[in-house]
Amino acid sequence: MNGSAIVMLIFASLILYGGLGYYLVRAARGKKRKNSEETTNESFGE
């Protein structure tokens, strides 16, 4: 593979897979929310 193709490979990989890894860690460390049962039909408050 030529040099410029490798640069683009690294650039896209850093954003896509780096970003994915970052947000997966954020999700793992995020607040634990109860998967509770709720009722429907709440309006948006208009």
Partner 1 sequence: MAKTRERWGSRSSFVFAAIGAAIGLGNVWRFPYITYQNGGGAFLIPYLIALITAGIPLMILEYAVGQKAQSSPPTALKTIWKKSEWIGWFAVVLVFVLATYYATIMSWCVNYFYQSFTLGWGNTPRAVETFFNQTLLAKSGSPGILGGIQLPVLIGLAVTWLLIYLCLFKGVKTLGKIVYFTVGIPWLILIIMVIRGLTLPGAMEGLNFYLTPDFSVLLQPKVWLAAYGQIFFTLSLAMGTLIVYASYLPRNSDITVNAFITSLANCGTAFLAGFAVFSTLGYLASAMGVTVPEVTTSGLGLAFVTYPTAINLLPVASRLFGALFFLLLITLGIDSAFSQIEPVVGSIADKWGFNKRKVLPLVVLTGFIVGIPYTTKAGFYWVDIIDHFVCTYGLTLIGFLECIVIGYFFKASRIREYINSVSDVRIGPWWDVFIKIVTPIVLGVSLIYELIKLIQKGYGNYPVWTAFSGIGLIILLIVLSFILSRKRGNL
Look up residue 27 and give its amino acid. Answer: A
Side-chain-side CA neighbours of residue 16 (13 Å): 6
Question: Judged by CB under 8 A, does residue 14 bind partner 1?
Answer: no
Structure tokens at 32: 């634990």
Question: Judged by CB under 8 A, does residue 9 bind partner 1?
Answer: yes
Question: Judged by CB under 8 A, does residue 7 bind partner 1?
Answer: yes
Longest CA–CA span in the chain (Å) reads: 57
Question: Judged by CB under 8 A, does residue 11 bind partner 1?
Answer: yes
Question: Judged by CB under 8 A, does residue 13 bind partner 1?
Answer: yes
Q: State which of positions 27-46 bind partner 1 (CB under 8 A).
A: 27, 30-31, 33-46
